[in-house]
Structure 1
Amino acid sequence: MIRSVLFDTETTGLDPRDGHRVIEVAALELINDLPTGVHFHRLIHPERDIPEDASRIHGILLEHLKDKPLFKAVAADMLAFMGEDEMLVAHNAPFDFRFLNAELTICGLPPLGAHRMVDTLVMAKTRFPGMPNSLDALCRRFGIDLSERTSHNALLDCKLLAEVYVELTGGRQRGLSLAVEDGGNAVAQYEANDGRVSRPIPVSAEEIERHVAFIQRLKSPIWLKDVETEKAAAAG
């Protein structure tokens, strides 16, 4: 079982060297590259203003954060969730690493190691060179529902990116649920079947009739031989 963490941040601007700060951090647990539904999410007071340009992107105003903790109050919980050895997955990961490491430095804490970084933007550019590879573009390409994404929300972006990441790392059978269902979860089902997840494929009456008609045109089809053998065995 391999655990990794997919995460996203929202900030007051584009560069911590200009005094910009983290205002939201969200992270999802992945086991064998599949999300388990376990997550971490915090809104954070940035100890500064939030420019209008930034608020237009993520929809967060300073007044929304007036009673939220400072980064130093959530840092320990965030690091505990991220663990020490797990890979850290993000879209345009250097941006998020730069901001989190700037915040950790302010707190006097060690930075996140660059060796842990997994950048889904690089993965997407490798797979789809020359094509738009923003999170929105990838969701549309993979048929992932974007109806709830009216602004950049770190937790929602994490959930969308988790679906994109599953596709970028090999895809999944349609019908494989990534949520906990019937007292279990997709990871347990995935592992119990050695990485294979069964999926019923409905067949219409018309498709069955067309298949039977096709079989009857074949010379000595083995499928009919098997049926005849079973009938003989039952009659014998």
Structure 2
Amino acid sequence: MASAYASGALALALIAPGPVDDPQPSRPAPAANVTPAGPPVFEEPRPPLLPADFRGEGRYIVRDLGVDVPSTWQGRGGDSQMTADGPEHPMWFTNLIYRNTPYTLTYKWPGIPPDPPRQCDRVGFFNRQILNDLLKTARFVGPEILQGTKDRRVDHWRVGVVGGSTQPGENLRFPIALGDVYVDQRNPSKWWQVLQFGFQNLFDPALDEWFTMTTFSHQPGQVTLPDRCPPPT
């Protein structure tokens, strides 16, 4: 969080000695002209931005299921892919934004029978630009420090999508998706932690999932559409 402070200006009055034949004593120096400092001016930081190219490694955490598995999140040319590890772990899935199309494919999930093999779900139209436009509406929560093997100074943002009426209290309104996004204070396109909450988390009893990043760079990653997923339309 950046703040600007108005600085006070200090002017010192210099007193010249009076004439030598002046019987009156020299006048006392006037009080210094001090301009008090004004209140701090708050400047809201830039909102989160998902870059076109990136690669990161971290952990995917579903606390109510006791799951904490390795994960990767990568982007290339505006496409992106998140994968929560593989067959040797209790959770294995991949989510993609591929050629303006979102996909989700769950290979393994605690308590969900693996057979028959689950299909790859293709859901409407969505891309990086739409996501970044949504992130521009996020609300700034405040600066924080994520404590871990390496403490990171982050800005915490809250973003949400609400269905129904836009007038609270008048008609039915319901949350479709919420997210808490934690980005680097010096670079809002560097993501360190996200809490997902909402109807998109259909397999999680508590409807909330975390991913935390231990590395994040702006190098092009690898995005691969699984064979089970239909091509974009």
Name the TM tier (shorter chain).
Answer: under 0.3
Alignment TM-score, normalising by the size of structure 1: 0.22
TM-score norm. by structure 2 comes to 0.22
Structure with higher Rg: it is 2
Q: Which has the higher helix share?
A: 1
